């Protein structure tokens, strides 16, 4: 089945999947791969590095005939930077983190779709009032920068979807496989905006060491902090801490951010450590869902894989799994386990009218299967 939503219809794309415009990582090749794969690729314009944009925008524009777009940090750019990007005729412009009002008129004049990312309800209400064509609801599980006092994706997305209706909403934060896409749709979103999973792809511009760290990392290894922004001398507003993998400077300065900001020698020590190779050149932006990332596929292929997984997850949610059938991995393959010992508790358990099979799956029954059971029903 095809997953048709208000988002797919608006952009005439095949799948309700969008690439998060990760600054410096979502370059032209990655954007084109996602768009050619049936999703919506969004270039990571970030703070508006003109040399980077001049290199990557043409790659996106020339490498796909499908819809694509570009994203910027509202706090960091000016109108001239936006207009430079609009010269390449992106289908959409996404604005995040800051007041977007100065940029709306140029986007409207260019005929581009306006996507506004929101991290809390105040921003969500503003996005509705400003007439956003699409709203991205970012939960705190997301990698990179986000709200200091935001909400997790599960409760935040349906609240924004209700508030914004009928405007399409994309869910963002902690989505790394098709089950997450399916969950986003079930929460009332029209699709999912995905970052970290696409950062771990062949086309992403992320440093190979960062990709390797994402594949090897776990969600519990990530944390939100402003320490690395202070150490790097970044101008990011402190209301938007960043989720990254662990870092030596985080361990050294956690909880002492004010001391770090007031200590130029400490910040210089960070720069010196990077120059010597003792510290990573960039933080590894990563979401809490990195446990689900185990490979570095082509982004073109990944879009279709995510869509197929989402379709399968939604189909399975609509019907109980047959007794005795093994569960499926996120790659769509059966989980192989040793068969249970006949008559053991793991083989057949009946609890309150629910039959549990040897694979851990369950099937609701009107009656309890007859037979010996270890323990009370």
Number of domain units in the chain: 2
- Residue 376's pLDDT band, with cuts at 50, 70 and 90, is very low
Instruction: Report yes or no on 144 lying in a domain.
Output: yes
Q: Which residues pair with 137 in a beta bridge?
A: 118, 171
Q: What is the pLDDT of residues 99-117, one digit of tens each?
A: 999 999 999 999 999 999 9
Please tell me whether residues 201 and 332 are part of one structural domain.
no
- Residue 252's pLDDT band, with cuts at 50, 70 and 90, is confident
Which among 95, 122, 93 is positioned nearest to 109, based on CA atoms?
Answer: 93
Whether 116 contacts 127, CB under 8 Å: yes
- Residue 318's pLDDT band, with cuts at 50, 70 and 90, is confident
- Could you tell me the two tokens for 264? 């130029």
Please tell me whether residues 334 and 302 are part of one structural domain.
no
Instruction: Report yes or no on 138 lying in a domain.
Output: yes
Please tell me whether residues 73 and 143 are part of one structural domain.
yes
Q: What is the pLDDT of residues 185-204, one digit of tens each?
A: 999 999 999 999 999 999 99
Instruction: Report yes or no on 133 lying in a domain.
Output: yes
Please tell me whether residues 293 and 375 are part of one structural domain.
no
**Residue 328, phi then psi, degrees to nearest 5:** -105, 145
Please tell me whether residues 144 and 94 are part of one structural domain.
yes
Q: What is the pLDDT of residues 41-68, one digit of tens each?
A: 999 999 989 999 999 999 999 999 999 9
Selected residue with higher pLDDT from 92 and 320: 92
Instruction: Report yes or no on 143 lying in a domain.
Output: yes
- Residue 270's pLDDT band, with cuts at 50, 70 and 90, is confident
CB within 8 A of 367, min separation 6: which ones?
353
Which among 272, 237, 271, 241 is positioned nearest to 254, based on CA atoms?
Answer: 241
Q: Give me the CATH number covering residue 101.
A: 3.20.20.70
The pLDDT assigned to 342 comes to 46
- Could you tell me the two tokens for 65? 């005939």
Instruction: Report yes or no on 368 lying in a domain.
Output: yes
The pLDDT assigned to 353 comes to 29
Q: Which domain holds residue 345?
A: 322-377
CA 9 to chain centre: 21
Instruction: Report yes or no on 171 lying in a domain.
Output: yes
Least confident of 1-10, 78-87, 132-141, 152-161: 1-10
């Amino acid at each position: 089945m095809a997953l048709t939503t208000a988002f797919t219809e608006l952009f005439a794309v095949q799948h309700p999947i969008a690439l998060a415009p990760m600054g410096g990582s979502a370059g032209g090749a990655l954007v084109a791969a996602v768009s050619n794969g049936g999703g919506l690729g969004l270039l990571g314009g970030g703070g508006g590095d003109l040399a980077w944009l001049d290199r990557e925008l043409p790659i996106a524009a020339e490498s796909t005939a499908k819809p694509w777009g570009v994203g910027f940090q509202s706090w960091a750019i000016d109108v001239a930077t936006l207009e430079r990007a609009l010269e390449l005729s992106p289908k959409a412009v996404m604005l995040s983190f800051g007041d977007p009002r100065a940029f709306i008129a140029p986007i409207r004049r260019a005929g581009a779709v306006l996507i506004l990312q929101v991290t809390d309800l105040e921003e969500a209400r503003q996005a509705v009032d400003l007439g956003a064509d699409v709203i991205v609801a970012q939960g705190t599980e997301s990698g990179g920068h986000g709200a200091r006092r935001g909400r997790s994706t599960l409760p935040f997305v349906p609240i924004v979807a209700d508030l914004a209706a009928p405007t399409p909403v994309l869910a963002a934060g902690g989505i790394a496989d098709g089950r997450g896409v399916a969950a986003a749709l079930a929460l009332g979103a029209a699709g999912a905006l995905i970052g970290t999973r696409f950062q771990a792809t062949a086309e992403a511009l992320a440093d190979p060491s960062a990709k390797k760290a994402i594949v090897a990392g776990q969600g519990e290894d990530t944390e939100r902090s402003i320490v690395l922004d202070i150490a790097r001398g970044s101008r990011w507003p402190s209301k938007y801490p960043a989720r990254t993998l662990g870092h030596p400077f985080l361990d050294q300065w956690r909880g002492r951010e004010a001391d770090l900001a007031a200590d130029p020698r400490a910040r210089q020590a960070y720069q010196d450590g990077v120059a010597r190779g003792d510290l990573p050149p960039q933080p590894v932006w990563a979401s809490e869902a990195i446990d689900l990332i185990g490979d570095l596929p082509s982004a073109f292929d990944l879009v279709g894989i995510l869509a197929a997984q989402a379709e399968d997850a939604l189909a399975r949610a609509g019907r109980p799994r047959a007794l005795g059938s093994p569960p499926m991995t996120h790659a769509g393959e059966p989980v192989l386990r040793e068969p249970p010992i006949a008559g053991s508790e793991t083989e057949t358990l009946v609890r309150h009218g629910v039959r549990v099979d040897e694979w851990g799956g369950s099937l609701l029954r009107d009656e309890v299967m007859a037979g010996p059971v270890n323990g009370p029903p």
